[in-house]
Amino acid sequence: MPRIYVHPLPVRIWHWINALGFVTMIVTGFQIRYIGLIDVMSFRTAVVVHNWIGFVLIANFFVWLLFYLFTDKITVYHPDLNPTRQFRRSIRQMWYYGYGIFKGEPNPHHISVYQKFNAMQGMTYQVIMLLLVPLQFYTGVLLWDVERFSGMIDLLGGVRVVDTAHVLIFIFFVAFIFIHPYLASLGHTRSAHFKAMLTGYEELE
């Protein structure tokens, strides 16, 4: 099967550190937020691990950001310049995931070096990486030291507002951590996209 190189090394390193970190953040976040519901470690350990991994993830985010800012690869995230075509492609992709795949229809998206994501994927990843992830980091840092950042917290409407935003995005990521690997398992084999994120090479069907 022919293969193309779609995931450069910095993206792969960023991705797997990020994935591991997010799973840890979700588990420790659950323990901190819903005291008594799950008991994986002591409350204090959960807080310390949550804070440290949080800062590791922020640093790691810059690996992703700087790689895409300083290479020409950012185009993989761009939506189609023609909004009608972008809309049509997204609907076709949703139809495929919701219905066509169960009927054995072929995937309407064909991977290439500059179009490794389908119409839905590119947009979703962009919203996650440029909006939700930075917002989660920002609210997390504010909550990490509410006294030091009290001025900014007050400006945003108080600690309850900041905390609510942090928890709502957390709930989104809990859902994402299940949906994203499920969708990633829908390649020409179950493990095809996972292997690609490890080796860098995507096999062409």
Instruction: Map residues 7-46 to x or -, x wherever contact with ligand HEM holds by CB under 6 A.
Output: x---x---x--xx--xx-----------------------
Q: Which parts of 34-118 fold into alpha helices (H)?
A: 43-69, 83-98
Contacting residues for 114 by C-beta, under 8 A, at least 6 apart: 75, 76
Contact in structure between 203 and 192 (CB atoms under 8 Å): yes
Stretch that binds ligand HEM, among 98-106, 137-145, 150-158, 188-196 (CB under 6 A): 188-196
Instruction: Map residues 61-90 to x or -, x wherever contact with ligand HEM holds by CB under 6 A.
Output: ------------------------------
What is the helix (H) or strand (E) element at residue 89, kind and residue range?
helix 83-98
The size of the interface with ligand HEM (CB under 6 A), counted in residues, is 19
Q: Which residue has the tokens 């917290």?
A: 153
Stretch that binds ligand HEM, among 37-45, 101-109, 122-130, 158-166 (CB under 6 A): 122-130
Which of residues 111, 133, 153, 169 is near ligand HEM by CB under 6 A?
A: 133
Distance of CA 50 to the CA centre of its chain: 18
